[in-house]
Structure 1
Amino acid sequence: MKLKKVSLRLRIFIGMITLVLLASILIALVTIYQYNEEAQDYHRERLERKEIAITEHIDFVLRDRQTTYEITTQNIPRIFKEKIFEIAEIHGMQINLYDLEGDLLISSRGAFAMDSIVRCLDPEVLNAVSQNFQHRFVNKTISNKVTYQSSYSFITDNKFKPLAILNLPYLENDEFLNKELNEFLLRLGFAYSIMILVAIAFAFILSRFITKSLKTVSDKMAKTRLEYRNEKIDIQDTSQEIETLVTAYNSMIDELEESAVKLATSEREQAWREMAKQVAHEIKNPLTPMRLSIQSFERKFDPQDENIKQKLNEFSKTLIQQIDTMSSIASAFSTFAKMPAQKNETLNVVEITKLALDIFNEDYISFISEQDKIIAKFDRTQLIRVVTNLVKNGIQAIPEDQENKRIVVDITKDEFNVIISVSDNGIGIAEAHKTKVFEPKFTTKSSGMGLGLAMVKNIVETYNGTISFTSNPGRGTIFKVSFLKV
């Protein structure tokens, strides 16, 4: 399932909130990392300080003149028999002393806990201490999520000769640091919760401000039409990018209006050229039989012919018939060329429609209206012209030999419009002709110029109305005219 495209406003809003959340998470991670680094530095430096202090204390004991033992590795347990407990208590550290081979000499742990003490050092520890430049080695182990450090260094005599190996086990107790870290993260979370609420409000306002101008531009673009006069966009206090877009749009509107004028002019010229061709063609049709009739009459004219009066009457009727045809063509063209005057008379559509139907003698024309009075603003003459043309079109669509002819003129209304429907049960409109019905010169009849429906459409659209039709070939057609009611 494809997700719908997210609007720019929502993307800005989500982007800003995401940025604040990512910043808070990043700061929390950096804080945790920094606290861990500081904790490690604290434990390392604390072990070093303890080791230096204990080493100095041991050196002080070794150099004390009150001791009666010779300062050797074998005498270390005797020298520190009591002192090791004192030193351990003063410095708060467990102290283990090993000989240079790694065997335990003495420890500050009680006898009951001696079993937990390593009695012989690992050779790797001995090598690390002896080969290190500082003769010092720190081993770190983790057991049950608890970190232990053990430092190993030499104790020397007054000639700096190694006597023993000092071992200081150290437990990294992070309870205090973890408590501070949790308190800091809690305060940070509270601060960022407030910041997120502020960011949500700020992001909403900012995204609305940014997209407001874009929405104005998009609304104007959506309403842009070639056939109408389009308004330019006027936005104050906007960004440089939006101003550039607005300037480009306004420039496009100017060019569009110029193009619309040129196109309208070109279309009018083309329409009149086509109309002129059609009129010329329609006029030529009666001229040809008129010419032939005159030539035939001239060739056969005999003043002494006893039937000369009858032939003259037939000749006159032929000419009059063709002249009437030419007059009808001229009248149709003149009617179509006239633009309907927008008088906007307030009239009763039902009454005017009935008046328009009075000129027809066909008994199969029926009229239906749900109300006796429907008021609209329309020109009386033009409304009569619309109704009569639609009814004439329906009459011409029904074959002369068809039985049960029917034309129904129905007037209804909805909330805003009055609707005039003219339906017939004639031959209908073929699918290939439906797109050409309202073209000025289109017709399927053997006579006429095809201007009736084009003129009706012209009149209706002048009054901001619409005309449409539905047709079922072989069963009939329904034309609907809709325009605003009062």
Structure 2
Amino acid sequence: MRILKKQELVQTENKVKETYRYILKENHGSSDFQDAKVKETISNKIFELANVNNVAITLYDLQGKIITSSRPQKENLSSAFLQKLLKTKSIVKEQETATPKNSILYSSWSYLNYQNKPIAIISTETTANKSSWYYHFKILVKQHFLAIIFLLILSGYAAWYISKGITKKIAHISKTLQKTNVEYLETPIEYSDRDEIKPLVDSYNIMLEKLQEQTSILARTEREEAWRDMARQIAHEINNPLTPLKLSVQNFQRKYNPEDENNEEKVRNLTQVVVNQIDIISSITKAFSDFAKMPVNNDSLIDVVKTVKYAVDIFPDHIIEFSTNAEEIYYKIDNIYLTRVITNVVKNGIQAIHHQDKKVKVEIENLQDRFFIKIQDNGSGISEENKDKVFEKKFTTKSTGMGLGLFMVKKIIEDYEGKIWFESIEDEGTTFFIEFLKKY
């Protein structure tokens, strides 16, 4: 809008120049502004021109002195300004004014030529309110209203036509993408048009091929990993009873005395322990032959005190300390599962002890509505960073461990609605607590 205002001011100035040239011509071509008749004529005409064009007009001689002006209190032009005007031939300025508020003063200076010679300097001034810019804009819109409406309609129709074609193509692609899952990976998108959507379709088809390859590799890897897990689990479960069984036999052999009167009873106890552990191994191997399943629950009402006692008897008696505050505690649970739980935790406790004075205390505490099995070792304890990982699958701190023992122990206990947790102090030891609620 400011550019339009400046152009408008220059056009007005040119009209004023034409008027003055006409006045000079009518006065027999005299360009002497000091002539009384000429000066009177242009002085009278300057107010008329100012009112008609709504501008302020000032006429200067070539030395910058005012000849006449439609606005009082005008100053002569400085020599510096005259030098600048001589170089540029025309000067247009704009500046904000304090009065009236929010208005801009536009000023223009240029030479008034007559018969191809500069005879004076003419200046025109006008003010414009900033809010009038909106008015000028409305005028511009009104002048070109029909053209603008036509262009809007044309562009809207073109956009609709183009988008309609693209939308159909995208809808087709969208239906194909909705079917993209493991069952439809072999169905690429068929697209023959060579437009902006073609690279997208090609990228999708390439991604589909890679996804097919990755899915095949993943399925094969999952099958292999499942068999590895199964093999590790079976090996771990079989190893659990074998290790203490070996220790028990070695301990008996070391302490065997042919002249001991209690040999018959010791052999009977050893035999019972060995048979019990062999039954566990037999159940595991049988389950493995039935598509690698772990033993199915065979719950019965058993004496927990007796079962735990048999489970710890296979470990060296100089390591194990067993105590109970009840002679009998009957609970419905699989005897083999409970034996595996105790064997796992005790074995882990022994392995956590790295000094010679190994001690593992197994205690049964019977209460009115529940009973606890506490297994305490004097080992190295569990570090803070590993406490949250103890019951995770595949977590182990041993170089030879599979990381399945305590994970399976927790699962067995929770299957019987029990709880297991531990308290541990580094370099002092760990105590595992197993809790079962009595069911009446």
Find the partner of 2:90 among 121, 136, 139.
136
Q: 1:126 aligned to 2:73?
A: no
3-state DSSP class of the match of 1:106?
strand
Match of 2:144 in 1: none
Q: 1:481 aligned to 2:433?
A: no
Conserved 8 A contact 1:283-1:329? no
TM-superposed CA distance for 1:49, in Å, is 0.8
- Separation in structure 2 between the aligned mates of residue 363 and residue 330 of structure 1, nearest angstrom: 23
Letter in 2 for 1:336: I
Find the partner of 2:108 among 144, 147, 151.
151
Find the partner of 1:160 among 105, 116, 136.
116
Conserved 8 A contact 1:366-1:409? no
3-state DSSP class of the match of 1:82?
helix
Match of 1:177 in 2: 133
Match of 1:444 in 2: none
Match of 1:185 in 2: none
Match of 2:272 in 1: 328
Conserved 8 A contact 1:470-1:478? yes
TM-score (norm 1): 0.49
Match of 2:366 in 1: 408
- Separation in structure 2 between the aligned mates of residue 246 and residue 482 of structure 1, nearest angstrom: 51
3-state DSSP class of the match of 2:83?
helix
| Runs (5+) with no aligned partner, structure 2 | 139-180, 190-202, 285-293, 309-322, 346-359, 383-389, 392-404
- Taking a change above 3 Å as real, the CA distance of residues 460 and 129 of structure 1, as seen in their structure-2 partners, is closer
Match of 1:421 in 2: 371
TM-superposed CA distance for 1:151, in Å, is 1.8
Q: 1:460 aligned to 2:395?
A: no
- Separation in structure 1 between the aligned mates of residue 107 and residue 333 of structure 2, nearest angstrom: 113
User: What does 1:270-309 correspond to in 2, within 5 Å?
Assistant: 272=238, 275-276=241-242, 278-287=244-253, 293=258
TM-superposed CA distance for 1:464, in Å, is 6.1
- Taking a change above 3 Å as real, the CA distance of residues 84 and 264 of structure 1, as seen in their structure-2 partners, is same
- Separation in structure 1 between the aligned mates of residue 48 and residue 410 of structure 2, nearest angstrom: 117
Q: 1:382 aligned to 2:334?
A: yes
Conserved 8 A contact 1:386-1:459? no
- Taking a change above 3 Å as real, the CA distance of residues 167 and 328 of structure 1, as seen in their structure-2 partners, is same
Conserved 8 A contact 1:138-1:152? yes
3-state DSSP class of the match of 1:429?
strand
Find the partner of 1:101 among 53, 58, 63.
63
- Separation in structure 2 between the aligned mates of residue 477 and residue 257 of structure 1, nearest angstrom: 35
Deviation by residue 1:396-442 (Cα, 9 ceiling, x = unmatched): 9689xxxxxx942443xxxxxxxx42368xxx72352877x99xxxx
Match of 1:71 in 2: 31
User: What does 1:137-286 correspond to in 2, within 5 Å?
Assistant: 137-144=91-98, 146-157=103-114, 159-178=115-134, 251-252=217-218, 254-266=220-232, 268-269=234-235, 272=238, 275-276=241-242, 278-286=244-252
Conserved 8 A contact 2:337-2:412? no
Match of 2:13 in 1: 51
TM-superposed CA distance for 1:457, in Å, is 4.3
TM-superposed CA distance for 1:163, in Å, is 2.2
| Bigger relative CO (Cα 8 Å, ≥ 6 apart) | 1
Match of 1:191 in 2: none
User: What does 1:15-34 correspond to in 2, within 5 Å?
Assistant: none
Conserved 8 A contact 2:64-2:82? yes
Percent identity between the aligned chains? 14
3-state DSSP class of the match of 1:97?
strand
Conserved 8 A contact 1:366-1:408? no
Match of 1:10 in 2: none
What is the root-mean-square deviation of aligned Cα atoms in Å? 5.5
- Separation in structure 2 between the aligned mates of residue 381 and residue 106 of structure 1, nearest angstrom: 122
Letter in 2 for 1:130: L
- Taking a change above 3 Å as real, the CA distance of residues 284 and 271 of structure 1, as seen in their structure-2 partners, is same
TM-superposed CA distance for 1:179, in Å, is 5.7
TM-superposed CA distance for 1:259, in Å, is 2.6
- Separation in structure 2 between the aligned mates of residue 458 and residue 278 of structure 1, nearest angstrom: 21
TM-superposed CA distance for 1:106, in Å, is 1.4
Deviation by residue 1:200-244 (Cα, 9 ceiling, x = unmatched): xxxxxxxxxxxxxxxxxxxxxxxxxxxxxxxx988999x969987
TM-superposed CA distance for 1:123, in Å, is 1.2
- Separation in structure 2 between the aligned mates of residue 359 and residue 82 of structure 1, nearest angstrom: 131
Deviation by residue 1:120-168 (Cα, 9 ceiling, x = unmatched): 1111232233333xx32334444336432322222233x3232221111
Deviation by residue 1:423-474 (Cα, 9 ceiling, x = unmatched): 68xxx72352877x99xxxxxxxxxxxxxx99x949935946554256799x
TM-score (norm 2): 0.53
- Separation in structure 2 between the aligned mates of residue 235 and residue 481 of structure 1, nearest angstrom: 50
3-state DSSP class of the match of 1:95?
strand
3-state DSSP class of the match of 1:126?
helix
- Separation in structure 1 between the aligned mates of residue 295 and residue 22 of structure 2, nearest angstrom: 124
Conserved 8 A contact 2:57-2:124? yes
TM-superposed CA distance for 1:42, in Å, is 0.6
Letter in 1 for 2:275: S
Match of 1:60 in 2: 22
- Taking a change above 3 Å as real, the CA distance of residues 130 and 331 of structure 1, as seen in their structure-2 partners, is same
Letter in 2 for 1:42: L
| Runs (5+) with no aligned partner, structure 1 | 1-38, 183-231, 294-313, 370-377, 400-405, 412-419, 439-452
TM-superposed CA distance for 1:98, in Å, is 1.3
Letter in 2 for 1:160: N
Find the partner of 2:379 among 432, 443, 446.
432
- Separation in structure 1 between the aligned mates of residue 432 and residue 86 of structure 2, nearest angstrom: 113
TM-superposed CA distance for 1:342, in Å, is 4.0
